[in-house]
């Protein structure tokens, strides 16, 4: 049987994503109740990082341990992969040692190549193009506070980056609307917009943060300069009108949530007043990474 990879929200059916979300809520309740939940006993997760990480690294590590499994952390610079070994050969070798591979990499093609050659499940822990694990945690967080996301409006303001691409795919899978404001030249890649719109998602793209945020149920932003995109980032003066501050939040619904995947650059894409304010749920998002990762691992390894 082919390995069950978790590569992107567009690559997993809405039915399976719904199952992962339900499982995450159930496992979170079980963890908080102190119930033993160890379906991955004896399993090993290999984690390859080609970029820095705090949340993804720690939440996958802790999730795997809670589920009874173990982890092996590999920094690409300390692997032969970081010298001359191919991704394909690396995938084949690691598949002989571990039961699943989580990778954070640069070019999305590297993720796809790893998955093509691995005989064990591969999980996308962020690429230059997407960050699907983050969006599951974010949807869980919204639903914890405000109920089902279907029909709700999520506004994105800032750079058109990997996290946004996965939010766009999520709109097609989970039924929320997206209103996106980015500077001219920082648009998300059109293949993500086209795919989601072809699936029936409602996605509005503009260059005016106030327009995007007006009457939104949730306001989302992310760093202005993503890892490995430093040379493409527009200047601060171009991005400043997309900052989430109190004035901008006042355009959204009065009960709108503020979300950010973290790490945040306070004073740039978001002010302290907003990220530390009553509408912010950024640390709930971070916590839900742990619960969502458990269910992604369980799904990949046949424990859902
Ligand atoms: N949000 C997120 O993926 O954080 P890390 O880069 O710390 O993993
Ligand atoms: N867009 C950010 C997300 C970090 C979790 C980056 O890629 O650097």
Each residue's pLDDT tens digit, 31-67:
999 998 899 999 999 999 999 999 999 999 999 999 9
pLDDT above 80 for 1? no
Residues 207-229, mean pLDDT to the nearest whole number:
97
Question: Which residues' Cβ are closer than 6 Å to ligand 1?
Answer: 53-56, 126, 134, 261-263
Q: Before 9, cis peptide (omega within 30)?
A: no
* pLDDT above 90: percentage of residues in the chain: 94
104 part of the active site: yes
Please tell me which residue in 28, 66, 131, 177 is annotated as part of the active site.
Answer: 131
pLDDT above 80 for 291? yes
pLDDT above 80 for 148? yes
Conformational region of residue 262, where left means phi above 0, alpha means psi within -120 to 50, and beta covers everything else: left
Residues 156-171, mean pLDDT to the nearest whole number:
98
134 part of the active site: yes
Q: Give the pLDDT of residue 154.
A: 98
The mean pLDDT of the chain is: 97
16 known member of a binding site: no
Please tell me which residue in 117, 134, 165, 291 is annotated as part of the active site.
Answer: 134
- Is the ipTM here above 0.85? yes
Neighbours of 134 (CB within 10 A): 27
Ligand 1, pocket-test mutation among 262, 283, 288, 296, most atoms within 8 A of CB: 262
On whether the pTM is more than 0.90, the answer is yes
Atom of ligand 1 nearest to the CA of 125: 3
Beta strands in the chain (DSSP E): 44-49, 70-75, 100-104, 122-124, 153-157, 177-181, 203-206, 218-221, 257-260
Q: What angle do CA 29, 34, 40 make, to 5 degrees?
A: 80
Q: Give the pLDDT of residue 36.
A: 87
65 known member of a binding site: no
CA distance 135 to 215: 21
- Helix (H/G/I), strand (E/B), else coil: 189: coil
261 part of the active site: yes
Residues 211-227, mean pLDDT to the nearest whole number:
98
Q: Cα dihedral sign for 255, 261, 263, 268?
A: negative
């Amino acid at each position: 049987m082919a390995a069950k990879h978790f590569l992107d929200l567009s690559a997993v059916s809405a039915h399976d994503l719904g199952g992962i979300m339900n499982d995450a809520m159930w496992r979170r309740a079980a963890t908080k109740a102190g119930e033993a939940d160890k379906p991955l006993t004896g399993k090993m997760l290999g984690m390859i990082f080609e970029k820095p990480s705090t949340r993804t690294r720690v939440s996958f590590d802790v999730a795997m341990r809670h589920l009874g499994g173990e982890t092996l952390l590999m920094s690409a610079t300390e692997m032969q992969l970081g010298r001359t070994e191919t991704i394909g050969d690396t995938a084949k070798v690691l598949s002989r040692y571990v039961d699943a591979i989580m990778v954070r990499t640069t070019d999305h093609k590297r993720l796809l190549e790893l998955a093509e050659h691995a005989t064990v499940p591969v999980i996308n822990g962020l690429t230059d193009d997407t960050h699907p694990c983050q969006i599951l945690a974010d949807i869980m967080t919204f639903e914890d506070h405000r109920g089902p996301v279907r029909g709700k409006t999520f506004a994105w303001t800032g750079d058109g980056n990997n996290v946004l691409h996965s939010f766009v795919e999520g709109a097609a899978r989970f039924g929320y609307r997206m209103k996106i404001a980015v500077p001219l030249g920082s648009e998300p890649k059109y293949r993500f917009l086209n795919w989601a719109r072809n699936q029936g998602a409602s996605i509005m793209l503009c260059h005016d943060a106030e327009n995007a945020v007006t009457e939104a149920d949730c306001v989302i932003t992310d760093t202005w300069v993503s890892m490995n995109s430093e040379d493409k980032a527009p200047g601060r003066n171009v991005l400043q009108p997309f900052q989430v501050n109190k004035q901008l939040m006042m355009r959204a619904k009065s009960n709108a949530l503020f979300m950010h995947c973290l790490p945040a650059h306070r004073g740039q894409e978001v002010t302290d007043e907003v990220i530390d304010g009553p509408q912010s749920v950024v640390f709930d998002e971070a916590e839900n990474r742990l619960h969502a990762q458990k269910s992604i691992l369980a799904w990949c390894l046949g424990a859902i």
